[in-house]
Amino acid sequence: MLTLTQQDLDTADLDYFYTYYVQSFGIALFENEQEDNLKAILPNQELTTCYTRTTRTNKAIYFFCAPLIISVVIYLYYKYYTKFISVQNNTYQLHKEFIQIAIGKKQNSKTIELINQIYQTSDNLPPFSIP
């Protein structure tokens, strides 16, 4: 699911996201992961930045708000992109009650814990497949 903008566009299932992660603000993407690297941000948590690097593993992580409609999302400074597709063709609404999590250059224990929880989850946003 990490596709360079010079390659054919990949897809993600927007209906799946809003069915299983309705209280999530958006999506976390871990750069340099091979496949299935789009993960939902934990419920009710909104990150105040869109990009950070972990201090111990030096992994680049990009956070973005989930699209509300069928969209192409370009991330990591125009390096990658994904098309979010909805069979239902809905216009979704984001959950409204979020706790803001500040992520800065100096990562505190809450930030590190959040990143680790997202990284360690085994549930990834699946690619779109024609039903």
Cα–Cα dist 127/130, whole Å: 10
Residue 30: strand, helix, or coil = strand
As to burial, measured by CB atoms within 10 angstroms (0-12 exposed, 13-18 middle, 19+ buried), residue 128 is buried
pTM (2 decimals)?
A: 0.80
The answer to whether the beta carbons of residues 62 and 32 sit under 8 Å apart is no
As to burial, measured by CB atoms within 10 angstroms (0-12 exposed, 13-18 middle, 19+ buried), residue 39 is buried
List the chain pLDDT tens, one digit each, 131 residues: 567 788 888 888 999 999 999 999 888 888 776 666 788 888 888 887 777 776 666 677 888 888 999 999 887 777 778 899 999 888 998 888 877 776 766 666 777 777 788 878 877 888 887 66
**Per-residue model confidence (pLDDT) at position 71:** 92
**Per-residue model confidence (pLDDT) at position 37:** 77
**Per-residue model confidence (pLDDT) at position 18:** 92
The answer to whether the beta carbons of residues 44 and 97 sit under 8 Å apart is yes
- Please state, as a whole number, how many other Cβ atoms lie within 10 Å of the Cβ of residue 110: 12
